Copies of this chain bind each other. A is one copy, B any other.
Amino acid sequence: MNGAELLVKTAVAAGIHVCFANAGTTELPITIAFDSIPGIRPILALFEGVCTGAADGYGRMLDKPAMNLLHLGPGFANGIANLHNARRAHTPILNVIGEHATWHRPADAPLTMDIEALVGTVSGWQRTNKSVESLSRDMADAISATFYGQIASLIVPQNHQWAEHNDDTVSLPGFLFDPVEHDSIEAAAQLLRTGKKAALMIGGRALRTRGLQAAVRIKRATGCDLLTGTFPGYMERGAGLPPVSRIPYFPEQATSMLSQYQGIVLAGIKAPVTFFGYQGIDSQVLTEYQQTVHIGTGRQNIIEVLEGLADALGMLGNSHGREDVVTEPQRPQLPQGALTAEKACLTLAALQPEHAIIVDEGLTSVFSYYSLTAALPPHSLMTIAGGSIGYGMPCAVGAAIACPDRPVINLQADGSAMYTVQALWTEAREGLNVTTLICSNRSYNILKLELQRAGIEPGPKALSLAELRPPVIDWVSIARGFGVPAVSVSTAEGLAHALKKALEEPGPHLIEMVL
């Protein structure tokens, strides 16, 4: 068995079944091993940003890693932006990056780069494999590292992939949460018991159903509000689950929302900071006058932490009732007339199927979506955790691979969609149930909003850098070129009709919503 086969065998033994790939000559042994060692489904993407974004979507859905197979430094570099988002979302991802043969590296051949420096910018764990003998152990260590919600990157020289190894025993990953720390839980309980106006801000795995169930017990015991960050990586929500408020994007609104609290418990999430630095506004949204307690680190089980806190507070009883959780799903009515951003969100809220996966990169067009949909049937939501645009379409690919029986709806800003538009081809090739709703406002609208906030009237050159026309991008033509059926709509009725049709038919669809 050669190194590449040992690598694949180790991945399969650890439960990795999907590899998003755009491989080159230095990864050929691994692509060949996918045939000789069964168990991994390789999925081709036409650009590495699609691979890494898909692995992010997959990992967010299943809370386990997919593998990426990437070609040397340039291939990895193309995937960095979406790995950055994944890092901020605490997504488990396993990157395998091919490298020149160890004896060839000193030649500084054209494709040679400092891969380790690139890898270091987004990885929680990284290693360059030193020999075929340690390859299975390296893979197992990498996979173990992902279980803590981080990116692990293993660089594998090509000669180690080809090298024969007479021992085909594979190493298995190990994984153990750090013990829960009771002192901080007690401090959090004390803060919430004071009767001061308080919030419990949750992140990471706490936004999955079991974490939310613990959070709602805490809320009922103490009357605290439930919050999360501006861009949660993954959350489960809808009827039966407690509503969780997101901290607004712009600092004025964020401060206004948070200033009402005298105390905040931060569970598995950092204290909120502004997205950008604005002159005269503090980076920290919370002030020194607000009491904060942190519970749960990245290596603790945040579910267990929250359940511990709920248990500690249990004696207070359910003094705050159950009116906070809607049990019967509620939907808005379908809107009518010329399409607007608001009506697009209303239409989706009116039609969104149960168990839908919403990949939200709608940015300024979908400000109203979140509040309109808290009481919909249960669904999953992903947002742009790291703020690096171009995550939506690839993430939708990964979500659809992870959960083939659930409809994926990608609410997608047009400018951001352009970053990784090649994802449409993988949707077509794999026949994925993804409906892409392009929010076609034909501008980088966030830049216009930032200029407005700063009171600046941009000149023609500055404006040209925020305008996506001319020429108008013909999304229908582009989508069809990639093999995805597409239509363009400009009325609420047109959107409702097209969305129903897209959700009924298997395979990918794209709907351009002209806003």
**Interface mask (A430-446 → B, CB under 8 Å = 1, otherwise 0):** 00000000000000001
Return chain B residues, CB-CB under 8 Å to A465.
Answer: 21-23, 31, 34, 42, 44
Q: State whether A84 touches B88 (Cβ < 8 A).
A: no
A404 within 8 A of B: no
A176 within 8 A of B: no
| Assembly CA distance A8 to B464 (angstroms) | 17
Q: Contacts A162-B279, A465-B44 hold; do A418 and B428 have CB atoms under 8 A apart?
A: no
**Interface mask (A44-83 → B, CB under 8 Å = 1, otherwise 0):** 1011010000000000000000000000011101101100
Q: State whether A104 touches B47 (Cβ < 8 A).
A: no
Stretch at the interface among A190-198, A394-402, A471-479: A471-479
Stretch at the interface among A113-121, A314-322, A492-500: A113-121
Return chain B residues, CB-CB under 8 Å to A475.
Answer: 481
**Interface mask (A463-507 → B, CB under 8 Å = 1, otherwise 0):** 011111011111111111111000000000000000000000000
Return chain B residues, CB-CB under 8 Å to A329.
Answer: none
| Assembly CA distance A270 to B32 (angstroms) | 34
Q: State whether B103 touches A114 (Cβ < 8 A).
A: no
Return chain B residues, CB-CB under 8 Å to A84.
Answer: 73-74, 77, 113
Shortest distance between the CB of A360 and any CB in chain B (Å):
15
Q: State whether A481 touches B474 (Cβ < 8 A).
A: yes
Q: State whether B107 touches A456 (Cβ < 8 A).
A: no
Q: Contacts A277-B158, A481-B473, A482-B478 hold; do A121 and B419 have CB atoms under 8 A apart?
A: no
Closest Cβ neighbor of A391 among chain B residues: B74
Return chain B residues, CB-CB under 8 Å to A159.
Answer: 277, 279
Q: Contacts A47-B419, A283-B104 hold; do A275 and B110 have CB atoms under 8 A apart?
A: yes
Shortest distance between the CB of A320 and any CB in chain B (Å):
32
Stretch at the interface among A132-140, A292-300, A341-349, A380-388: A380-388
Closest Cβ neighbor of A30 among chain B residues: B462
**Which of A393-439 touch B at CB < 8 Å?**
415, 418-419, 421-422, 425, 428-429
Give the number of chain A interface residues (Cβ < 8 Å): 102
Q: State whether B462 touches A473 (Cβ < 8 A).
A: no
User: Which of B230, B276, B428, B450 lies in contact with A104, CB distance below 8 A?
Assistant: B276
Interface centre among A23, A32, A75, A274 (most CB of B within 10 A): A32
A172 within 8 A of B: no
**Interface mask (A282-308 → B, CB under 8 Å = 1, otherwise 0):** 011000000000000000000000000
Return chain B residues, CB-CB under 8 Å to A451.
Answer: 28
Q: Contacts A23-B447, A279-B162 hold; do A480 and B483 have CB atoms under 8 A apart?
A: no
A90 within 8 A of B: no
Return chain B residues, CB-CB under 8 Å to A118.
Answer: 80, 117-118, 121
| Assembly CA distance A464 to B23 (angstroms) | 11
Q: How many copies does the complex hold?
A: 2
User: Which of B110, B387, B421 lies in contact with A110, CB distance below 8 A?
Assistant: B387
Q: State whether B109 touches A419 (Cβ < 8 A).
A: no
Q: State whether B480 touches A101 (Cβ < 8 A).
A: no
Return chain B residues, CB-CB under 8 Å to A23.
Answer: 447, 465
Q: State whether B471 touches A425 (Cβ < 8 A).
A: yes
Given A35-B461, A44-B465, A117-B117: 14 more A-B contacts, CB < 8 Å: A28-B456, A36-B459, A73-B84, A104-B274, A104-B283, A107-B273, A109-B274, A110-B386, A111-B388, A117-B121, A158-B277, A421-B421, A425-B473, A472-B483
5 contacts between A and B (CB under 8 A): A42-B465, A74-B388, A117-B117, A477-B478, A479-B481
Shortest distance between the CB of A412 and any CB in chain B (Å):
14
Closest Cβ neighbor of A231 among chain B residues: B110
Q: State whether A459 touches B107 (Cβ < 8 A).
A: no
Interchain residue pairs A-B with the least CB separation, the first 8: A35-B459, A104-B277, A471-B483, A478-B481, A101-B277, A477-B481, A74-B388, A107-B283
Return chain B residues, CB-CB under 8 Å to A456.
Answer: 28, 32
Shortest distance between the CB of A210 and any CB in chain B (Å):
26
Closest Cβ neighbor of A28 among chain B residues: B450
Q: State whether B275 touches A111 (Cβ < 8 A).
A: yes
A460 within 8 A of B: yes
User: Which of B31, B419, B459 lies in contact with A461, CB distance below 8 A?
Assistant: B31
A108 within 8 A of B: yes
| Assembly CA distance A473 to B429 (angstroms) | 11
User: Which of B31, B276, B460 lies in contact with A26, CB distance below 8 A?
Assistant: B276
Return chain B residues, CB-CB under 8 Å to A447.
Answer: 23-25, 28
| Assembly CA distance A34 to B466 (angstroms) | 13
Return chain B residues, CB-CB under 8 Å to A101.
Answer: 276-277, 279
Return chain B residues, CB-CB under 8 Å to A337.
Answer: none
